[in-house]
Amino acid sequence: MTPEESSAQQWSAITSLLNAQLGPSGMIPTVANVQQSVDLYTGQSPAIGVQLVRTRSSLKFTKKMEVISEFVVLVSVKSEYDLVTQTPPNLADANAQLQTIIADGSGHGVVEVLRDPANINLGGLVALMLVTGTDYSWEIGRGAAGSDQVWSHALISVEVRDYVSVA
């Protein structure tokens, strides 16, 4: 198996792992969908995109190559107008929703799924999967009160290590 084939399998496995945790009984209950892309074209919110960023390899043993694949898991949340409180979309609301999806403090969330000891080898597919960091960003598109576009994003860096045979 080539490093590119290996990373493609990992990409699918990470996407499937997160997708399996959606819904009321999962560890990520409020997310609308998971895609194998950071382009969240569906407009559904909250959403998760998994993007392969880089694959690199090096010879480690006589007939084994270490393959390191880097992924970004994008979590995006849009603040909506609250009819009950008459509160317009705002960044504080978006950030609070985002943090709950990343890790809610009760063992649920994207990083909890990725760090779960049962998942760190992707069902035996890889040697090790690590969450290596999280970067945050936001977008605010001003409009009339209640029509602002307010998004909060987390870019969770994930590194996957595996060893493949060389001919």
Structural domain count of the chain: 1
Q: Distance between CA atoms of 98 and 130, rounded to whole angstroms? A: 20
pLDDT in the model for residue 164: 87
Q: What three-state secondary structure class fits 29?
A: coil
The chain-wide mean pLDDT, for the chain, equals 91
Task: Show the domain range for 99.
Answer: 3-165
pLDDT digits 0-9 by tens, 39-66: 666 777 899 999 999 999 998 877 888 9
pLDDT digits 0-9 by tens, 94-145: 999 999 999 998 989 999 999 999 999 999 999 999 999 999 999 998 877 6
Q: Between the CA of residue 42 and those of 32, 37, 100, 114, what are the distances in Å?
A: 10, 11, 22, 24
Q: What's the CATH code of the domain at 150?
A: 3.30.70.1700
Q: Distance between CA atoms of 133 and 152, rounded to whole angstroms? A: 17
| In contact, 97 and 90? CB cutoff 8 Å | no
pLDDT in the model for residue 104: 92
Sign of the four-CA dihedral 85, 105, 95, 51: negative
pLDDT in the model for residue 133: 97
